[in-house]
Amino acid sequence: MIENTSNDIEESELIAKAQKGDRKSLSDLVKMYESTIFNFAFKICRNHERAEHVVQETFFSMVKSISQFSGNSKLSTWLYTVVSNHCLMLARGEKRREKTFFNEDISDSPNYTPTEWKNHPDEIAENEELRIALDKAISKLPEDYKIVFMLRDVEGLSTKETADIVELTIPAVKSRLHRARAFLRDELNKIFSDENKKNYL
């Protein structure tokens, strides 16, 4: 999540300077958000090359339009909107939806099979198999579900902020979030069950 801290003042000053043509301030803004936007794009695109392309286009939009940024919303919200749109455009262009296995009725058939999850969040940095499992699970979600899950759960935006960014109603965001959480949990449960059988993870 992009933190809302005292850095907000610094950010406002950077935006004001950048709007007056100060390219060093523009560069500092890019550096401030580069990692957050790259991580967001990577988790949607599931591919370094595509994520890099999306990040470049997102910041290109920022550089091009910074003079028109009104400050009515946070810069982070504006960047999330732009990066989400670029991810969706890329996905539509590649017709990636055809490759998904997402069942819209997933919430009607949750998998209750209790499986002991041997992994813990703090192991992710050292556990390549776990990262592959997370990639595999989220790659099956349609892009619009991934974006809602990422904005709301991973980046920590409110339901209202998420709804504004993806241009959906609040109930529609809640519905997508509900299904995405249930789907990801069930996918990971299946993977971990299989892996446990193989005593792999």
Binding residues for another protein, per CB under 8 A? 23-24, 26-28, 30, 34-35, 38-39, 42-43, 48, 52, 55-56, 59-60, 63, 107, 110, 112, 114-115, 117, 119-122, 124-125, 130-131, 134, 138, 149-150, 153-154, 174, 177-179, 181-182, 184-185, 188-189
- With contact defined as beta carbons under 8 Å apart, do 192 and 118 qualify? yes
Nearer to another protein, 2 or 150 (CB): 150
**DSSP for residue 3:** -
Collect all residues with Cβ–Cβ distance below 8 Å to 38 and sequence separation of at least 6.
51, 52, 55
- With contact defined as beta carbons under 8 Å apart, do 162 and 151 qualify? yes
Nearer to another protein, 88 or 182 (CB): 182
Nearer to another protein, 9 or 125 (CB): 125
- Least distance in Å: CB of 95 to another protein? 25
- Least distance in Å: CB of 117 to another protein? 6
- Least distance in Å: CB of 125 to another protein? 8
- Least distance in Å: CB of 91 to another protein? 19
- With contact defined as beta carbons under 8 Å apart, do 59 and 30 qualify? yes
Nearer to another protein, 24 or 198 (CB): 24
Nearer to another protein, 120 or 197 (CB): 120
- Least distance in Å: CB of 143 to another protein? 15
- Cα separation of 176 and 89, whole Å? 19
Collect all residues with Cβ–Cβ distance below 8 Å to 192 and sequence separation of at least 6.
115, 117, 118, 119, 133, 201
**DSSP for residue 122:** G
Q: Which long-range contacts (CB under 8 A, 24 or more apart) does 24-28 make?
A: 26/63, 26/66
